[in-house]
């Protein structure tokens, strides 16, 4: 059973240089109780994907075609009020920047109170719930934390408060957009463990976005590899890390200097540049940077599937 199913999703941004096709035919699933990682260089469309799911695309962005099935309902067909009802209650989000993610002039307790606005509980019970959530993410002295403001907490604590807020309404799907990228390595480990622990307790599915392979390998059950707005490969974490099919995935793994099992804070770098998404190549999207390019790569590659492991590359033979 899938909690989330993305089907042939196309998202376009209107820009001065013409329509920018930020997501092209993106498809993948997030099964119940599983953690799915989305990995790719920055600019490959990870945040666009999240915003499309949440119905929060920028004014110039639009879902051109495709479906976003959440619990069997297509989110792309919902009006803004229906989407608002989904956000925060069924689908929760933790964003990258813990410094700016909380409102600076409203106390933590008030913000946690506000997001419980749909609940029938009284004010005292809601505050008690907030304290309980803060305790679960190990904020010291959670009661007094309610009356404090975000700037009074460290970056790591702010990110834990953000996680507490996201988990408080017991969502079916938690989306995490690079939640550890701004943290140092020790805090990163702690945050990952906290996410794992809460996910197990609440029993939600997680869509985890990162460009950090070590974190993905450790946390995720399934992996989706994105390149320039397309899904180039997807499969279980084991399949992706031990038996990568797509040259881009191979290069990503090779560029990770310390290997897949150790952490690195550096972005994977591959020679060459991401193609201009206002005029993407007709054939394989990765061909320009691929060291095993052939003439056939000027035509669009088919998606090949082997035991749930899928890749879009002419070289992969079923």
Partner 1 sequence: MLSYSLKRLGLAVAIVSVAMLLLFAMIYLIPGDPAAVALGPRATEAMREALRIKMGLDQPVWIQFWNFFINAWQGDLGNEVLSNRPVAKVVMEQLPSTLALIVGGMAWSIALGIPLGCWTAVKRGGMADRIVGVFSVAVIAVPSFVVAIYALLIFSVSLRWLPAIGAGEPGDIGDQLVHLILPSLAVGLGWVGYIARMVRASMLEVLEAPHIRTARAFGLPDRQITYRYALTIAILPTVTLLGVGIGQMLSSAVFAEIVFARPGVGKLVYDAILTRNYPLVTGAVLVTTVLFILINLIADLVVGYLDPRVRSRL
Ligand X SMILES: Nc1ncnc2c1ncn2[C@@H]1O[C@H](COP(=O)(O)OP(=O)(O)O)[C@@H](O)[C@H]1O
Q: Please choose, out of 15-23, 120-128, 162-170, 307-315, the segment that lies near ligand X by the rule CB under 6 A.
A: 15-23
The residue among 129, 154, 151, 155 whose CA lies nearest residue 142 is 129
What DSSP element (H or E) covers 197? helix 185-202
Query: Tokens 């974190």 correspond to what residue?
Result: 215
The residue (of 134 and 245) whose beta carbon lies closer to partner 1 is: 134
The residue (of 43 and 281) whose beta carbon lies closer to ligand X is: 43
Choose among ligand X, Mg ion, partner 1, none what residue 74 binds, the Cβ cut-off being 5 to 8 Å by kind: none
**Binder among 2, 10, 47, 264 for Mg ion (CB under 5 A):** 47
* Positions 258 through 317 that interact with ligand X (CB under 6 A): 277
Q: Is 44 in the site for ligand X (CB under 6 A)?
A: yes
Q: Is 170 in the site for partner 1 (CB under 8 A)?
A: no
The residue (of 45 and 142) whose beta carbon lies closer to Mg ion is: 45
x/- contact string, 107-126, with partner 1 (CB under 8 A)?
Answer: x------xx-xx--------
Q: Is 30 in the site for ligand X (CB under 6 A)?
A: no
Helices then strands, counting H and E runs in the chain, come out as 10, 12
Q: Is 95 in the site for partner 1 (CB under 8 A)?
A: yes
Please list, in sequence order, all residues whose beta carbon lies within 8 angstroms of the beta carbon of residue 222, skipping any fewer than 6 positions away.
Answer: 30, 31, 34, 35, 36, 37, 234, 235, 236, 237
Count of positions on this chain that bind Mg ion (CB under 5 A): 1
Q: Is 201 in the site for ligand X (CB under 6 A)?
A: no
């Amino acid at each position: 059973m899938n909690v989330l199913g993305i089907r042939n999703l196309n998202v376009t941004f209107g820009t001065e240089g013409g329509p920018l096709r930020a997501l092209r035919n993106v498809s993948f699933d997030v099964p119940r109780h599983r953690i799915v990682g989305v990995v790719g260089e920055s600019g490959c469309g990870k945040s666009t994907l999240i915003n499309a799911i949440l119905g929060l695309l920028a004014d110039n962005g639009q879902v051109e075609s495709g479906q976003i099935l959440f619990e069997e309902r297509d989110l792309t067909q919902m009006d803004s009020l229906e989407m608002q009802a989904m956000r925060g209650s069924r689908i929760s989000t933790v964003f990258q920047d813990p410094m700016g993610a909380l409102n600076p002039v409203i106390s933590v307790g008030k913000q946690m109170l506000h997001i419980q606005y749909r609940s029938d509980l009284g004010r005292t019970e809601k505050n008690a719930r907030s304290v309980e959530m803060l305790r679960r993410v190990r904020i010291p002295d959670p009661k007094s934390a309610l009356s404090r403001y975000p700037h009074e907490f460290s970056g790591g604590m702010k990110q834990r408060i953000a996680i507490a807020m996201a988990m408080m309404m017991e969502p079916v799907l938690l989306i995490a957009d690079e939640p550890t990228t701004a943290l140092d390595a020790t805090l990163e480990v702690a945050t990952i463990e906290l996410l794992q622990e809460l996910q197990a307790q609440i029993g939600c599915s997680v869509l985890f976005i990162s460009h950090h392979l070590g974190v993905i390998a450790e946390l995720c059950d399934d992996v989706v590899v994105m390149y320039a707005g397309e899904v180039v490969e997807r499969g279980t974490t084991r399949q992706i890390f031990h038996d990568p099919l797509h040259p881009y995935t191979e290069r990503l793994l090779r560029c990770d200097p310390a290997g897949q099992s150790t952490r690195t804070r550096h972005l994977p770098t591959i020679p060459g540049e991401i193609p201009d998404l206002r005029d993407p190549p007709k054939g394989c999207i990765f061909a320009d940077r691929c060291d095993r390019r052939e003439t056939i790569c000027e035509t669009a590659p088919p998606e090949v599937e082997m035991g749930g492991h899928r890749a879009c590359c002419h070289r992969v033979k079923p």
